[in-house]
Every structure is written in C-alpha cells, then in structure tokens.
Amino acid sequence: MKHCIWCRRTEQETTFNKEAHTIPKTLGGQDICINVCDICNQFFGQHYQSSPSVETVIKETFNITRIRLLDKEHIGKNKAVTKFSSQYFKVDLTKHKLELKPAYRLQKGFQEKMGRQIKKGLYKIFLEETERQKYDGHNPQYDFIREFCRYDLGDYPVFYFERLHGIIAMAKSWTVRPEFFLDPDQQFKYLVREPSFFEFEFLGHVFGIATSRHWELAIDNYIKKTTEAKRQFFRRWRLVKNFNDIDLSLSILDDVDRP
C-alpha cells in the first residue's frame, strides 16, 4: 500500500495517480518516488505565501547550470534543454550571469524567500530519493524535513562549497539526466560522511545538509572534518540564505575558458 512520506496518508485516504519526480522533469529528472500523494506533489508545484513554488525555484535556478555544462548539441527544440525562459530571472547565457528581474529584485526579502525555497527543494530531493533508493523516507529521524519542506516550520542549513578549480569531473549523462547519489561508493572522496550531515554533488555543485534535527550539536566536528577533506579542491563554504549564495552560473568555469 502506498504511504505518502510527506503527509503520512495512505491510498485509503488520498490518491497517488500522478508521477512525483524527485528531480523536476523540466530539469531533466526521470526518477519517480511512488510514495508521494497527489496533494503533496501538487503542493510543491504551487506558490506559497508570495514565494515561488519549490519546484519552480529548483527548475529555474539549476537549468542555467545545465546550460553552462551541456554542449550545444543538447540545447534546442526536442533536446535536453529547450530555449530557456524564466519568469523570475534575467539570464545572460553569453556572460553566464543570472539575476532576478527588477520587479522581483526590488521586492523586500524576495532573494531570501528564493533562498529558503532552494533549501527546501534540496531537502525535498534528499528525502524523496532516500525513499526511492532505500525505502527509508518514513524514518522518524526525518520528521524535521517533513515539517520544514511541507509545512514551512523551522529552518535548517544548506552548506555550499565554492570550488577552487574550474574543472568538474562528472559524466555528461548526469547533466542531461540529473541523478542524486546516496551511496558513498558513487561519491567523490571529498564528500564526508557524518551521522548528522549528508553531502552530495548536484549538477556540478557540492552541498551539505542536516540529517538530524539536532545538527547544531555536531556542527563543530562536521566543519572541521569537511574543511580538511576539501582543502585541495574548494576555496571556502557558506551557509545558503539568498538564492545568489549559490554560484548557479558556475563562474569558476570562466577560469578554464580563458586562453
């Protein structure tokens, strides 16, 4: 029996007719989490209290990264990425720049709202992939993620690691069809494993999120360990607050592109 990982309702209480992509289909995602009900699936695609939907923010912000990483043969009609059009962002593909359109940039607190939705989106992907890959999405350990993503309660960290070099070792297929890896054997050596945190690489970006409600108790040890592991590959880390705390245009690649 299907059992929603977000609202905890079953097939006897709600419907599960629509496919719930763990990574938005409009971002190239193809993997489905069957234990997301139609109501919760729809929720993540809707605006929330004057904020863009979680799915919209993830789709629009990370598609600029995909365009930067993909060859021209994958961009265009009937390709991995069609013509890029954004409601919220002004995109300059030549200069690899992404910024909010004036109407939104001038709205007080809008960048912070976008940042919060990005954070929710990354936690959402983690929990749905945890259910899809390991059937562990109902674990009470992740109740705080349900509260945060589905019901907008509390606030939890997303660490963003800024690369030191403009060389990103990843398969082109991961850009055409983004995947989310939970298995440490599939990860890079600079991604650390801690009981209260999880690190992952997504479309050339490296993030860290909390996997415990009480993550603050383990933060000092985590920062020490992750800083040491990334010393040769990353310049620094920051906590995501606004949407532009993430280098979505991967400007570090400009160092490689220059003659």
Least confident of 106-110, 172-176, 253-257: 253-257
| Per-residue pLDDT at 117 | 95
Q: Enumerate residues 6+ apart whose C-beta is below 8 A from 8.
A: 138
Least confident of 65-69, 131-135, 148-152, 209-213: 65-69
| C-alpha 87: how far from chain center | 19
Instruction: Show me where the domains of the chain are located.
Output: 25-257
| Per-residue pLDDT at 34 | 98
| Per-residue pLDDT at 94 | 64
Give per-residue pLDDT as tens, 5-28: 999 999 999 999 999 999 999 889
Helix axes 110-134, 143-151, angle to 10 degrees: 140
Least confident of 88-102, 146-160, 178-192, 207-221: 88-102
Task: Using DSSP, state whether 149 is helix, strand or coil.
Answer: helix
Give the residue-averaged pLDDT of 43-50. 84
Among the listed residues 4, 3, 32, 247, the one whose alpha carbon sits nearest the alpha carbon of residue 146:
4
Among the listed residues 257, 221, 255, 259, the one whose alpha carbon sits nearest the alpha carbon of residue 235:
255
| Cβ contact 89:111 at 8 Å | no
Give the residue-averaged pLDDT of 203-226. 96
Confidence of residue 166 (pLDDT cuts 50, 70, 90): low
| Per-residue pLDDT at 167 | 60
More confident residue, 188 or 121: 121
| Per-residue pLDDT at 29 | 93
DSSP strand pairing (197-202 vs 193-194): antiparallel
| Per-residue pLDDT at 131 | 98
At residue 254, does pLDDT exceed 70?
Answer: no
At residue 181, does pLDDT exceed 60?
Answer: yes
Q: Enumerate residues 6+ apart whose C-beta is below 8 A from 199.
A: 159, 187, 191, 192, 193, 206, 207, 208, 209, 226
| Per-residue pLDDT at 93 | 61
